[in-house]
Structure 1
Amino acid sequence: MNWKKILKRTLLTILVIVIVAGSVFYIVFRHEISSLMSLEKIDDYTLYTMEYDGDYGFDDFLKTGASNDAELVDFVVKKLLKGLPVEFSIPNLGCSTFNAETQDGDRIFGRNFDLTYSPALFVKTQPDNGYASMSTVNLGFLGFNEDKQPDSLTKQIITLAAPYAPLDGLNEKGLSIGVLLIPDEATNQQTDKIDITTTTAVRLVLDKASTVDEAIEFLKQYDMHSSAKSAYHFQIADANGKSVVVEYINNEISLVKDDKSYQMATNFLLTPGDYDFGHGQDRYEKMKTILDQNKGILKDEQAGMDILKAASSNIHKNERGEESATQWSILYNNTDLTAKMIMGRKYDQPAHEFSLK
């Protein structure tokens, strides 16, 4: 046989193998590839955005759950990262949240995230069996920092764990949520219910609940295990203007509601009792004063961002001696399903704008 024909057939065979292998690889990893291709840096402070393509298996997670961060990491590594190791580390964080109404009748939900320097990821998700949502992830929880950024493929793959690490968000039904640290004993409920952690509780609410009442019922169906051996509470608000702060006192769920059409939370417990209430009362009072003066009805979204600015923290030393400041301020519009976000207290610059529509 002519050696040229042999070479030609060999090359064609190799080409077919490469095409088939590439096609199989793309079919298997097409959602991951699409998600990573959407990853974009939009603010040098730093803020990334991602359109998460496909389902991330949260229904599978809810069948088994996780009673600590290690079990959550194990699930995420197997389900999403194909064995690539990732870390979940939630440090002490000081935050502020509030909900109110604008003069046009829009329901809004504001949140400051206070911590040491923390690159952020704003991610949109659309699970197969749940509501579309947008949420904010502190990339520091996934091992990123000022020197380590998701700027290469091997590092970017870790961002696929983002759906399991949201700290605030808004879903397509107009339900918003934010999680805040409180200085209490870590929550560790022990019944026969499926276990969830702090960030997966946020994901549960965003994916499954359309109202505050539904969110409460979903949370009651699971045993809460707070992350990083710390304690947290959640403020949740919906498009109807209803709000609640969910706390866990001695491993029992406690619901703090207000007769007013607005509510706020910082880093101290709101449930009456004899314990260390925590800190952040100064930020709480700043928000409360403005909201009380306006009876919970603000002129517009900018007035909501002004509240976040008033309650924001410039660089200061936290209780661990670390330099801490407001890393991002985000205002969700529960009516229009939009969000405006300011990084690093740059309130004099235009906000980054997002929409679920």
Structure 2
Amino acid sequence: MKKLFRIIVCLLAIALFGACSVSRATVTPTVSVPEAWYVFSEAETKTLASLKQVDDYPLYVMQYYQDYASGRTFRLPTPQEADRAPGWGCSLFAVLLDEDHLLFGRNFDFKFSPAVLVFTDPPDGYASVSMSDIAFLNFSNQTAARLMDLPLEERAGLLGAPRFLFDGMNEHGLVVALAAVPQADTLADPSKKRITGLELIRAVLDHAHDVDEAVDLIRGYNVDLRGGLPLHYLLADAKGQAVLVEFYQGEMRVLENEQPWHSATNFVHSAVEDPQGNCWRYDRINDRLNETQGLLDSNSAMELLSQVAQKSGESPTQWSVVYQMARREMAIAMGMDYANVQTFRLSDFQLPDYWDPR
């Protein structure tokens, strides 16, 4: 009997264990879902939602509400990494006469570069508009053509646009643009803060009222172009001042205009006795400016940009922009489509109440 009892107990235990096992197998497990790696702030959401496409090349417009000085970069390359991109061309000129002839023209010559025109208004600086190359924001060419179809989280790279700018104008009519050159020799000063080639443009637009303030500001930095393309910068303002800033033989050189215009392409002016004959685009620009004595309006300035556009090679012209410094306007042609020029004004954006273009 005892043996039989033990057998029955064992059989009951096996049955009970088996029943428990089946029961456990049918229970749906609770899965702990991790939170998203990043949640947009209200300002970031508003920024990304402001995106508008205004040209099929494409060109987008975006208003930046986030404080980019402290914002996240979303695994973007550093400005120095962006500076390493090969083959920049570029043609720059400023005409410095009366209000109707106070213009800054610029061709950005590079590989295919869809762009976003970004309006920024930092809490500790001046409002400005600037052109940013979307390719530096980790978007493929195919994705860049359909940003409007993407959900906000897939547009996140655009939050880095204020750090990747190549030309722009601030609320006081100060314009700055870069161009690549064969050499730029900077000398480090340990007492000064380091700044990269693209960060320099951001600092100028945010914190300089005019050319004089911009030059003083640049002198206060260690401009670090190591690991990136050598650059020089043409600056002009609504007061009719213009300078070309270069870094040559360990010095910062500030070259003022000798005529009521200024210009630059892709050679170092400080390294040559006569700038004529060093670049066909530079020669064409200055021939036209001499011929007209700088009397170009926005349309004729855009026409001149079309004449020096690079239509083939590694760096065809990606965008042409004419900044009207007195009126705070800009006209943009993408991809050498000069029959389709988009015009924008700083007043098109939501400027603070204190802003006055006069």
TM-score exceeds 0.5: yes
Single out whichever of 194-203 and 86-95 deviates more from structure 2.
Answer: 86-95
The alpha-carbon deviation at position 188 of structure 1 amounts to 5.8
Paired residue secondary structure (1:217): helix
What residue number does 2:201 align with?
202
Q: Does the 8 A contact of 1:96 with 1:265 survive in 2?
A: yes
Q: Where does the alignment leave 5 or more consecutive residues of structure 2 unmatched?
A: 1-37, 348-358
- Corresponding residue of 1:302: 299
Q: Which residue number in structure 1 is paired with residue 338 of structure 2?
A: 347
2:60 alignment counterpart = 48
The one-letter amino acid of 1:291's match is: L
For 2:53, the aligned partner's letter is K
RMSD over equivalenced CA pairs, Å: 2.4
Contact 1:326 1:345 in 2 (8 A): yes
Q: In structure 1, give the amino acid aligned to 2:284.
A: K
Corresponding residue of 2:131: 136
* Contact 1:54 1:128 (8 Å CA) reproduced: no
Q: 1:37–1:126: structure 2 CA closer, same or farther, 3 Å change rule? A: same
Amino acid in the other structure paired with 2:59 = L
Distance (whole Å) between structure 1 residues aligned to residue 59 and residue 97 of structure 2: 27
**One-letter amino acid of the counterpart of residue 305, structure 1:** M
Instruction: Quote the offset at 1:115 in angstroms.
Output: 0.7
**Match in the other structure for 1:270:** 269
Q: CA deviation at 1:148?
A: 3.3
SS in 2 for 1:203: helix
Residues 266 and 280, structure 1, Cα contact 8 Å, conserved in 2: no
Alignment partner of 1:334 is 2:287: no
Secondary structure of 2:113 counterpart: coil
* Separation (CA, whole Å) in 1 of partners of 2:226 and 2:143: 23
Letter in 2 for 1:196: I
Deviations 1:150-186 (A, max 9, x none): 4533331111111111110000101000000001156
Q: 1:233 Cα deviation (Å)?
A: 0.1
Instruction: Tell me the equivalent position of 1:287.
Output: 285
Kindly provide the CA deviation profile for residues 186-217 of structure 1, in whole angstroms up to 9, marking residues without a partner as x.
64624320000111100111011111111000
State the alpha-carbon separation in 2 of the partners of residues 143 and 353 from structure 1.
27
**Structure 2 residue 310 is matched with structure 1 residue 313:** yes
3-state secondary structure, aligned to 1:315 = coil
CA contact (8 A) 1:112 1:327 kept: yes
TM-fit CA distance, 1:129: 1.1
SS in 2 for 1:130: coil
The aligned counterpart of 1:65 is none
Query: What is the correspondence of 1:138-177 to structure 2 with a 5 Å cutoff?
Result: 138-149=133-144, 150=147, 151-152=149-150, 153-177=152-176
Q: Aligned equivalents of 2:125 and 2:96: distance in 1?
A: 27
* 2:248 match: 249
In the alignment, the residues of structure 2 paired with residue 227 and residue 53 of structure 1 have an alpha-carbon distance, to the nearest angstrom, of 32
AA of the residue aligned to 1:143: N
Query: Shift in Å at residue 257 of structure 1?
Result: 1.2
* Residue correspondence of structure 1 range 108-123 to structure 2 within 5 A: 108-123=103-118
| Maintained 8 Å contact 1:119/1:144 | no
Give the letter aligned to residue 38 of structure 1.
Answer: S
Segments of 5+ residues of structure 1 without an aligned counterpart are 1-24, 58-78, 317-322
Could you tell me the TM-score, scaled by structure 2's length?
0.79
- Cα distance change, pair 269–188 in 1 and its aligned pair in 2 (3 A): same
User: How far apart are 1:103 and its partner, in Å?
Assistant: 6.4
Instruction: Look up the match of 1:67.
Output: none
CA distance in 2, matches of 1:103, 1:223: 35
Contact conserved, 1:186 with 1:230, CA < 8 A, in 2? no
**Whole-Å Cα distance in 1 between the matches of residues 311 and 54 of structure 2?**
22
Q: Post-superposition shift, 1:101?
A: 4.2
Kindly indicate whether the alpha-carbon contact (under 8 Å) linking 1:247 and 1:271 is maintained by their aligned counterparts in 2. yes
Quote the residue 1:232 is aligned against: 231
Query: Structure 1's 212 and 102: CA in aligned 2 closer, same or farther, altered over 3 A?
Result: closer
Residues 1:356 and 2:353 aligned together: no
Moved >3 Å (runs of 4+): 101-106, 185-188
Task: Give the AA of the match of 2:49.
Answer: M
Other structure's SS at 1:158 match: helix
Q: Is the 8 A contact 2:195 2:221 kept in 1?
A: yes
Distance 1:102 1:309 in 2: 22
Q: Quote the residue 1:7 is aligned against.
A: none
Q: Provide the C-alpha distance between the structure 2 equivalents of 1:97 and 1:175, rounded to a whole number of angstroms.
A: 15
Q: Percent identity?
A: 32
Displacement of 1:250 after TM fit?
2.7
How far the C-alpha of 1:106 sits from its partner, in A, is 4.0
